[in-house]
Amino acid sequence: MTEKKLLMGNEAIAFGAIEAGVQVVTGYPGTPSTEALETIARHAEKCGVYAEWSSNEKVALETAAGAAYSGAKALVTMKQVGLNVASDPLMSLTYIGVKGALVLLVADDPGPHSSQTEQDTRSFGHFANIPVLDPASPQEAYELTKLAFEISHQFEVPVILRTTTRVSHSSGDVELLNSEPSPVEAFCEGFTKDRRWTIFPRLTAERHPWLENVQVQLSDLFSELKYNSVSGSGKIGIMASGVSALYVKEAVKGFEELFTLFRVGTVYPFPEKAALSFLKGIEKLIVVEELDPYLEEQALQLIGRAHLPADVYGKKNGFFPVSGEYNVDIIIDCINKVLAELGETSRLSHSAPAIPRSGLPPLPVRAPTLCAGCMHRTVFYAFKQASKQLKKDFQVETIFSGDIGCYTLGNAHPLNMVDTCLCMGAGMSIAGGLSRANPGVKQVAFIGDSTFFHSGIPAVINAVYNGSDVTLAVLDNRTTAMTGHQTHPGIGVTVLGSPSKAVDISDVIRSCGVELVRSVDIDSLENSLEGCIEAAKEAVEFKGPSAVVFKGKCVGITKPVIRFEIDTESCTGCGLCVKQLGCPALFLPAGEEKPVIQESCSGCGLCAQVCPSGAILETGVKK
């Protein structure tokens, strides 16, 4: 007896994992994957599941692997760039395998909406010999999660469940076995000592043929599954996977007699027998997929080996975009290009919008910016003033290296305080490299608290060991803010809400050998800007590695108790507050000479501290 429930794709994955009997869940928050672990955490105590936010994806995978070695069913969650961090243990883990079950949820981000890259995890699975399942909807996400655990346990290999933003964050009715998660079985096998768990060259040589044979078995198995399905009987074939397959169904609505659609839900190992059965009789094949031409390459290889007389239209010959997120309109236009090439008179039509496009109001334009009252703005402004003083007193320029997090937005005008940004934890390392190539220039690296624990510590050690003249500014707002305020080792509470030992960032930095370490509590200073500037000046004038840990509250999770307003009589209209801070609560109305403070003010008071005429005043408790 099944029950329907409206679920986001990530929530459906969580329900599927619990129904599959998952016992250990680890991960690192990263959009669009985060909600899967958070959903499991909400039910963890009731269901007897252990869940944790790990310090990074590598640690998360290694922790899950240890559980899977012991017979547990484990899930690891991450986004596509997190797979880069986890790739080192994963490449070896494919040879070793597991005893229980190990599933990796890897959420890709075509677009990208909130990522550094548009990586395609299907290609990574192919590269690493790891099975990849590619759901197209929340319902399939739920079902394929359970299938992933079955395959992992049966074949003793890790399995990747690859989603994309539109699958992870879309919602739909999902048929569940249980609308409320039930307790999972406690695992009791335990770890058995065996040479299999120690990856030496001899073991690798023995296991590689086994691993390749598993790929053949899985390809045959996948060819029999319903997730690789054929619909329609038209003379033009279409091959698609993931959410692209749903876009195709919408695009060809009303023209189904022209096409035969092959939906691929188990993308690696490629279901060759099912694909070959589909391709026989198909002379024109359209391949629709976001990001890499993975299916297209698989189809071309199969067509070549089988000597089939089929022409392929996809990314490689310019009929579909090679990057970016797809939608129904893009696919309609691309299929119409193919139809024109084939001399077909039929053309797919766009559905008319409910409101004519000409009648739609323009969307408001809002550039990415730090929240009103964000402590990061105070720190950036403080370092800007300190660097100006450094240049004035010592004729020394400053380069500012950023990192991944909310504070990356410090690169925007008018702050302009992030000169480099590469990947998590790279700011300090890049600053060290810049210091070698730019002698006489001061290097400042910004990093967030969660990112510091994720991958910042090795860079601090490297700077100390090699004597880099770098200042590290840690922006500690007591949360993993960018991905939705998840916990981390510096907070003192786990994802399950239980208290834990809070790891002090200043102590960690001192233990790495940094001689000058200062801690500034922005919220407790009467004049936070002045205190931040003094700490910044001391750090940048220090020769060798130095660090300042700035502590404050994230305004995204704290309720303002005061706000500020502008005394129009005292205000001179200099515009300094608007021009230098870029706070979204400060606004200069069109045609006006004096700014106003909007209701979004969180009461940080930075604007009051920079106002040269003292015209910005506290108004009391905010209602």
478-496 as b/e: b if 16+ CB within 10 A: bbbbbbeebbbbbbeebbb
Q: How far is CA 351 from the centre of its chain?
A: 32
Rounded CA-CA distance 108/164 in Å is 5
549-571 as b/e: b if 16+ CB within 10 A: bbbbbbbbeeebeebbebeeeeb
Rounded CA-CA distance 454/482 in Å is 14
Q: Both tokens of residue 45?
A: 């105590």
Which of 504, 380, 510 is closest to 453 using CA atoms? Answer: 504
Q: Both tokens of residue 122?
A: 């299907």
Q: Answer yes or no: is 512 a known binding residue.
A: no
Q: Which amino acid appears at position 499 of this protein?
A: P
**Burial (CB count within 10 angstroms: exposed 0-12, middle 13-18, buried 19+), residue 347:** exposed
Question: Which helix (H) or strand (E) segment is 211 a member of?
Answer: helix 201-223
387-405 as b/e: b if 16+ CB within 10 A: beebeeeeeeebbbbbbbb
Rounded CA-CA distance 493/158 in Å is 30
Largest CA distance in the chain: 84
Which of 351, 379, 171, 131 is closest to 252 using CA atoms? Answer: 351
Rounded CA-CA distance 592/27 in Å is 50
Can you tell me whether residue 210 is helix, strand or coil?
helix
- How many alpha carbons fall within 13 Å on the CB side of residue 109? 17
Rounded CA-CA distance 521/27 in Å is 30
Rounded CA-CA distance 106/115 in Å is 13
Decide: 284 and 235 in contact? Cβ < 8 Å: yes
DSSP 350-405: PPPPSS-GGGSPPPPP----PPTT-HHHHHHHHHHHHHHHHHHHH---EEEE--SS
Planar angle of CA 587, 592, 593, nearest 5 degrees: 90
Rounded CA-CA distance 80/106 in Å is 6
Cis check: omega of the bond before 545, within 30 degrees of 0:
no
Rounded CA-CA distance 526/119 in Å is 46
Q: Answer yes or no: is 604 a known binding residue.
A: yes
Decide: 130 and 268 in contact? Cβ < 8 Å: yes
Q: Answer yes or no: is 371 a known binding residue.
A: no
Rounded CA-CA distance 459/46 in Å is 40
Q: Answer yes or no: is 423 a known binding residue.
A: no
Q: Which amino acid appears at position 605 of this protein?
A: G
Q: Answer yes or no: is 611 a known binding residue.
A: yes
Cis check: omega of the bond before 112, within 30 degrees of 0:
yes
Q: Answer yes or no: is 577 a known binding residue.
A: yes
CB atoms within 10 A of CB 260: 20
Q: Answer yes or no: is 601 a known binding residue.
A: yes
Please give the annotated binding residues for [4Fe-4S] cluster, written as ranges.
571, 574, 577, 583, 601, 604, 607, 611
Instruction: Extract the annotated binding site.
Output: 571, 574, 577, 583, 601, 604, 607, 611
